[in-house]
Amino acid sequence: MSKLLVFGHQNPDTDAITSAISYAYLLKQLGEEAEAVALGEPNEETQYALNYFNRTAPRVVSSVSEETDRVALVDHNEVQQSASDVEKVEVQYVVDHHRIANFQTANPLFYRCEPVGCTNTILFKMYKEYGIEIPKEIAGLMVSAIVSDTLLFKSPTCTQQDIEAATELARIAEIDVNSYGLEMLKAGTNLSTKSEAELIDLDAKSFPMGSYNMRIAQVNVVDEQELLARREALEFSMKEANATHGYDTFLLVVTNILTSVSTGLVVGEALETVAKAFNTEYENGLLILPGVVSRKKQVVPPLTVAFEN
């Protein structure tokens, strides 16, 4: 039997990379020959967590079928967000906290999906259910993911389960979750060295919505004006991405982690539909979205409704 590769989505965020690490470790303890890999390099926030807990990033792959015939997916299930050849291998495990879409298998599999703020919250529960002790450095990566996905418990995706998991994981990792979490989030807002093409691809996912192919990227900042000063170049890169990859509309969500206000920059065919989804109008060509911080819960669902209706 070939080795099981465990990986998160393309353009991986902290949860995608660390849930691959934490799930691969759990599967190993349960007798699987599992390896965590990644579908991209870690961003600054994720690298901060990896460095803090003295862990090496998983090796990067783009395809998997040439080295295995079985995989485990974490923090995603949609085919367009996965490895380029995921349909050529057998998906044996999925642990996720997103909607289920564009996903089917030929054989039964282990599938666990729960409406919590972070995949690592589910994995924390699985460690406890299996009676497997969580090593200090793994616990640190897991709590880092929960902090990232819930924006230090301020996101509407955050549940009491996330808070309880983070509290216990922080104790194992021997950190103060609030002070550590704020420093980690700030590390992810250092965008000055990134090109516009890199910025719009840092944390971007594609979503089929009605007859449209929607691309939604999100960038966290502490000062949105610093990024919006590059607006013209950002819009140019977004239009290029649309033309190159066949996206109908590209939405860049710039989220201020201190004020919990997002600014939407939109290019493409369906500008008015995007505005309608959020029940607002453009101000100088921008969508101002107070309280919107979660792509999963506050961006994708209203857009899906707007495009399908």
Average pLDDT value for residue range 109-137: 98
> Domain check: are 183 and 205 in the same one?
no
Domain that holds residue 13: 4-189
Last residue of a domain, one of 189, 219, 249: 189
- pLDDT tens, position by position, 280-289: 999 999 999 9
- pLDDT tens, position by position, 89-103: 999 999 999 999 989
> Domain check: are 232 and 147 in the same one?
no
- Is the pLDDT at 176 greater than 90? The verdict is yes
Query: What is the per-residue pLDDT for 45?
Result: 95
The strand pairing partners of 217, in sequence order, are: 204, 252
Last residue of a domain, one of 135, 156, 189: 189
Q: Given pLDDT bands bounded at 50, 70 and 90, which one contains residue 258?
A: confident
Average pLDDT value for residue range 159-179: 98
- Is the pLDDT at 308 greater than 90? The verdict is no
> Domain check: are 137 and 284 in the same one?
no
Question: What average pLDDT does the structure give for the chain?
Answer: 95
- pLDDT tens, position by position, 129-149: 999 999 999 999 999 999 999
> Domain check: are 136 and 11 in the same one?
yes
- Is the pLDDT at 153 greater than 70? The verdict is yes
- Is the pLDDT at 212 greater than 70? The verdict is yes
- Is the pLDDT at 168 greater than 90? The verdict is yes
The annotation status of 149 as a binding-site residue, yes or no, is: yes
- DSSP readout, 228-260? HTTHHHHHHHHHHHHHHHT-SEEEEEEEETTTT
CATH of the domain at 297: 3.10.310.20
> Domain check: are 11 and 44 in the same one?
yes
- Is the pLDDT at 250 greater than 70? The verdict is yes
Q: How many domains does the chain have?
A: 2
Q: Given pLDDT bands bounded at 50, 70 and 90, which one contains residue 127?
A: very high
Q: Given pLDDT bands bounded at 50, 70 and 90, which one contains residue 210?
A: confident
Give, as one character, the DSSP assignment of residue 202.
T
What whole-number distance in Å separates Cα of residue 299 and Cα of residue 292? 8
The annotation status of 162 as a binding-site residue, yes or no, is: no
- Is the pLDDT at 1 greater than 70? The verdict is no
> Domain check: are 107 and 169 in the same one?
yes
Q: Given pLDDT bands bounded at 50, 70 and 90, which one contains residue 257?
A: confident
> Domain check: are 66 and 171 in the same one?
yes
Query: What is the per-residue pLDDT for 47?
Result: 97
What whole-number distance in Å separates Cα of residue 118 and Cα of residue 169? 13
What whole-number distance in Å separates Cα of residue 164 and Cα of residue 85? 37
Query: What is the per-residue pLDDT for 77?
Result: 97
In sign, the C-alpha dihedral spanning 84, 87, 93, 94 is positive
> Domain check: are 131 and 252 in the same one?
no
**Residues 75-89: b if buried by 16+ CB within 10 A, e if exposed:** bbbbebbbbeebeeb
What whole-number distance in Å separates Cα of residue 37 and Cα of residue 7? 5
The annotation status of 176 as a binding-site residue, yes or no, is: no
CATH of the domain at 20: 3.90.1640.10
Last residue of a domain, one of 158, 189, 220: 189
> Domain check: are 129 and 185 in the same one?
yes
Average pLDDT value for residue range 8-27: 97
The annotation status of 98 as a binding-site residue, yes or no, is: no
> Domain check: are 148 and 22 in the same one?
yes
> Domain check: are 108 and 40 in the same one?
yes
